[in-house]
Structure 1
Amino acid sequence: MGLRVGRHSATTSRCPGTLVPVPGALQEGSLRFGEEIPPWFSADDVQKMRLLAGAEVVSKARVPAHGQVLRVGFRAPMGAAAADGDCAAGLCGLAKRPGDLYEVLAFHLDRVLALNRSLPAVARRLGGHLLPYRYTDGAPRPVVWWAPDVRHLHDADNDQNSFALGWLQYQALLRQRCGAGGGAAPGRAPCVGVAHAEWSRLALFDFLLQVHDRLDRYCCGFEPEPGEPCVQEMLHAKCRNPAELALVHILVRRSAPSRLVFIDNAGRPQHPEAKLNFRLLQGIDSFPESAVAVLRSGCLQKMLLRSLYVDRELWDSQGGSEGLRPLLQTLERRAQIFLRYLREHNLGLFRETAAP
């Protein structure tokens, strides 16, 4: 029986797409979709998840300035025109640390909320003689699809951005509504070509996950502990001078330069609720209606459980539904806090004008 994408009906569950397959449902290696694939995954997502989860690793390469990340090349699928391990053809992934498994949950959250800006990611136990032992020690680790056309600056100190962007310029382009019919006027900061709505998606995503590295790598929005990297690297002290604050991991793909790409999404599941970083939401005046509808529906945890069930390695390593529940409850509490923020600040919603 073939698998079908996006066929779950709301009539079978109050929360669409949340039916967990019964034991013995169709399984492909470490992926188990059941008879129907959750509707938030596209056919392209499924294809890339299959590649990341099951394709043979045929090459490896170090990633400059990222000592604990390894780029791996995969064997091309049968009948593919591309050669094995051809990164330009999308046959590569990044093998990250076991401690970054939260990045896989982040990918599922991105899809459940219909943001569709994160790169596909799965949990996988790597093996074989090609890779160093620390990558084949039996621990599940995130493997994230390598997008071949992400645009990087040719600057050794700033290669994790597609363009240089400081906090003050970012706030200015939000006020100017760059990419939403607004634009740079004489004497104002230039726009960077990213659609205005993209910043709303990023802010919502980063708030729920408490990812500070993109919009607030200096930890200016909360009081960090002494052991935080932003303190250890003496970044927090720069909060006194907003002109020195730079945004990091602000990336686009050459094939879609107006859309952001969310990378390095292993946020902070243990970040205390009393220190939630609301600076991540600063300057945003509206949010995507479809994502907010999921947060309001009461279905977020059920949808994420159904989604994460697909990734057996992640599911089993975290103790199944019971083990994952504390993480999902944390996301649910943050979602409710975000919704309260939305109401208290009387912020608007916008509808998608085109397919993501």
Structure 2
Amino acid sequence: MGKSRIHWLCSILLKLTSNFRRCFHSKKIFLFVIICLVYLFFVPSQFGHSQQHRGRRTDEYKDLHTHGFYHLDTHGALPDSADLQTVANFVVPTRSNVVYITLKSKRLKPAHIRGTIRPKLRKKVKRPKRINQSVRQNKPRTSERDTSQTNFASETSWKETGDVDYNSLSAIHNSYLNTVDSQMSSIRIYSERAPPWFSAHDLKSMRFLADAKVLRMKEFFRGDAPSLLIFEGETSANVANQKHSKRRDVCGGQCGIIYSPVDNTEVLAFHLDRVLGLNRTLPAVSRKFSLLHDGQPCPVVSWDASLYPEGLAATMATVRLTWGEYQRALKQRCWHKNISPKPDSGCSTIHHYEWSKLALFDFLLQIHNRLDKSCCGFRPRQEDECAEHGHRAACGDQNNIYLGNVIHREYDSRHLVFTNNKGFFDRNEDNLDFRLLEGIKEFPEQAVSVLKSRKLREKLLQSLFLDEMYWQSQGGRQGIDKLIDVIERRAKVLLTYINAHGIKIITMDS
């Protein structure tokens, strides 16, 4: 049956071709034109149908990807024993669209950073020609720093003391002073669930530091210590019910400490601390102030009055220990299993596990101003503070060198608070400060598990992405990747050190 149809079609084609040859030239042209018209009518109709079908498939593909930014729980179900922190992670999204961060399995070329990471320089904002006189008188003076300076010294000073009352400025300059858009938060959350390593207090503090309207600024001098520039923001919190209300002369409401732009590792340290599950740093974000540092993003850290038991006139709640006393305290395992140490043991008020968390954290960021402020464990550069002021001369008598910046809260003397986190990213693996790890025999299991799981990059990207100001100031994804490259390489060195020295990995709930 099939062969007969083929023969029949062939015979018809032969007859048509023979008749076409016998036709006149005008008829040939007429037939050719008809064939062209049929072809032109048929092809566009088929093309439009295919485009419509392709558009329908594209819409279906987009519908399959309208999930939140964080896919940490694909089933969307919480465990029955969900605690308060997990419940607090259900937040109101600050952005409506969805942005995905893709992870590269392998970098084509490893990043090598020679200089200290600094925020990208921004063009100066054009200011109005006529400036109110009150702005000139009350404008804080930013500290002058050499562009070649790479250390993270916090020698910040401002010209004027006293308050900078933003409400007293004329209405003409209100838009100039307020640098935050009230309709768009710089803390961007795209889904109903924030990363699980942030508590409800963390999210609330981050949003306040990034978006709160600035009411006034105050500069406080603390003797030989660097002065603090504190801003008070507009908040709905009831000041009368806040803790430590007796120090309302410092901050009448909720406040933040403004650091210099070169101290930008405060923000990275906060996110790294939360990702590792240490929870020892104060919330920090990046924010711009028009009247400070030419509008460059500055790290802003949450103000905690409990760190100053006797006010700013006195020192912070600091533990005074020499290096020798610190090493003896590590051997004593002070306050381990809540056992009170003997009076002659030389123990401080700090729990034994706190030193392990501090050593791990400081090694990843190479923070030496706590355990090794004289730079005895690495080769500093000539422009570094410890080398410039001759602190390395004390390394000959290391046991009598005092630790620095060992801070705890007034009401909690067992646990440390990591402040002034001035890290360095320009040290190669052959010049890391291993003195920070000396005497440590245990490390926290939760933090080490994150380093071993190879998900440190993914979690840091998700965490740092929330702070849009910091993300942009570091050059976007490319700049953030370079920072994480350094942390990952040091994590590998730390894991090798743990295996080589037989350090125990234990659960540290305290």
Give matches, 1:131-142, under 5 Å.
133-135=291-293, 137-142=294-299
1:173 is matched with which residue? 329
Cα deviation, residue 238, structure 1: 0.3
Q: Percent identity?
A: 39
Give matches, 1:116-265, under 5 Å.
116-127=279-290, 133-135=291-293, 137-151=294-308, 159-160=315-316, 162-181=318-337, 184-185=341-342, 187-189=344-346, 191-265=347-421
Q: Structure 1 CA distance, aligned partners of 2:385 and 2:438?
A: 22
Structure 1, residues 58-92: CA drift from partner, whole Å, max 9, x if none? 12222324557411111122xx2117995567611
Cα deviation, residue 198, structure 1: 0.5
| Aligned partners of 1:31 and 1:311 also within 8 Å | yes
Which residue, 443, 449, 457 being the options, matches 1:287? 443
| Aligned partners of 1:152 and 1:162 also within 8 Å | no
2:273 is matched with which residue? 110
Cα deviation, residue 255, structure 1: 2.6
| Aligned partners of 2:309 and 2:410 also within 8 Å | no
1:96 is matched with which residue? 259
- Report SS of the residue matched to 1:280: helix
Which one scores higher on RCO, CA 8 angstroms, separation ≥ 6?
1
Q: Structure 2 CA distance, aligned partners of 1:268 and 1:69?
A: 22
Report the residue type matching 1:72 in the other structure: F
Q: Structure 2 CA distance, aligned partners of 1:328 and 1:219?
A: 24
**1:334 matched to 2:494:** no
- Report SS of the residue matched to 1:260: strand
1:24 is matched with which residue? 97
Q: Which moved more, 1:144-153 or 1:234-243?
A: 144-153
Which residue, 211, 217, 222 being the options, matches 1:54? 211
- Report SS of the residue matched to 1:194: coil
Q: Structure 2 CA distance, aligned partners of 1:162 and 1:152?
A: 10
Task: Using structure 2 for the length normalisation, give the TM-score.
Answer: 0.61
Cα deviation, residue 153, structure 1: 8.2
- Report SS of the residue matched to 1:249: coil
Structure 1: where are the runs of 5+ without partners? 128-132
Cα deviation, residue 316, structure 1: 1.0
Report the residue type matching 1:288 in the other structure: P
Which residue, 33, 41, 64 being the options, matches 2:198? 41
Cα deviation, residue 242, structure 1: 2.0
Which residue, 480, 500, 506 being the options, matches 1:324? 480
Report the residue type matching 1:222 in the other structure: F
| Aligned partners of 1:162 and 1:250 also within 8 Å | yes
| Aligned partners of 1:90 and 1:148 also within 8 Å | no
Structure 1, residues 16-48: CA drift from partner, whole Å, max 9, x if none? x9xxx9982499510012212011100010010
User: Cα distance 1:134–1:28, how it changes in 2: closer, same or farther (>3 A)?
Assistant: closer
Cα deviation, residue 173, structure 1: 0.5
Structure 2: where are the runs of 5+ without partners? 1-67, 77-88, 100-182
1:9 is matched with which residue? 73
The structure whose residues are more often helix, as a share, is: 2
User: Cα distance 1:23–1:338, how it changes in 2: closer, same or farther (>3 A)?
Assistant: farther
Cα deviation, residue 188, structure 1: 3.6
Cα deviation, residue 343, structure 1: 0.2
Larger radius of gyration: 2
1:75 is matched with which residue? 234
Task: Using structure 1 for the length normalisation, give the TM-score.
Answer: 0.85
RMSD: 2.9
Q: Structure 2 CA distance, aligned partners of 1:44 and 1:342?
A: 33
Q: Structure 2 CA distance, aligned partners of 1:89 and 1:346?
A: 50
User: Cα distance 1:22–1:339, how it changes in 2: closer, same or farther (>3 A)?
Assistant: farther
Q: Structure 1 CA distance, aligned partners of 2:312 and 2:200?
A: 36
Q: Which moved more, 1:180-189 or 1:144-153?
A: 180-189
User: Cα distance 1:304–1:151, how it changes in 2: closer, same or farther (>3 A)?
Assistant: same
